[in-house]
Amino acid sequence: MVRPVALLLACLALLAAGCGGGGKPADKTSTPAASTPDPVSNGCGKGHPPMPKDIAKLKKPTERLDPAKTYVATVSTTCGDFQITLDAKRAPKTGGAFKYLADHKFFDDLNFHRIVADFVIQGGDPQGDGSGGPGWTIVEAPPKDLTYDAGVVAMAKTDTDPPGASGSQFFVVTGSGAASLQPVYALLGKVTQGLDVAQKIGGIQSDPTTGQPAWPVVIKSIRVKVA
């Protein structure tokens, strides 16, 4: 079942301002300007195209996070690493299921299959196209006051799934585009280190209709530890 994040995207216009001026010739000893990253890869390392991954069906998890502990998930990618602090207090069931998948190396070698600029990056699909999952769904209603600000990590679901439903696909909010979303996507946590890496991934060119990135970004591993 396809699990895209369902919402309406606003069109963003980019304005470029030119600058000019006279004066003395440039100092030949000055430091040259930094090179601009390739617009396709955005400076990310080489990955591989999304490929379906055969994963043994895991039993539906019953694990819950201990609200007295701090759980940190390190997401290692071909663009760099970032860390998500799981919200053990407000989303113990969702976080427990995510940790269960990470502990079983479910996410290893999967891709970020959907990228929407100033909005989200989405991964966690073993099929690599937004149609897959772990074979089960859990439901944990997100906090009613939840806002999807930059850095928030939540779980993707279909339009027909109930609020708080999730499998394995997750998304990281990289900009302001998701701030108007209704709180129907299960909360996982928030990026507490390396948000610039997630935003770097978010800057990769992608198909405007499907969000499929032009440059593959691989999730090398996700590991969850108690801080």
Q: Which domains does the chain have, with CATH numbers?
A: 71-226 (2.40.100.10)
Predicted confidence at residue 93, as pLDDT, reads: 98
The structure's pTM equals 0.83
Contact 222, 75 (CB under 8 A): yes
Question: Among all chains, which residue has been given the structure tokens 């609020």?
Answer: 163
pLDDT exceeds 70 at position 79: yes
What's the pLDDT tens digit per position in 99-108? Answer: 999 999 999 9
Asked if pLDDT for residue 216 goes beyond 60, the answer is yes
**pLDDT, tens digit, for every residue of 96-146?**
999 999 999 999 999 999 999 999 999 999 999 999 999 999 999 999 999
Nearest residue to 140 (alpha-carbon basis) of 108, 113, 163, 161: 163
Predicted local confidence at residue 11, as pLDDT = 37
Q: What pLDDT sits at residue 61?
A: 95
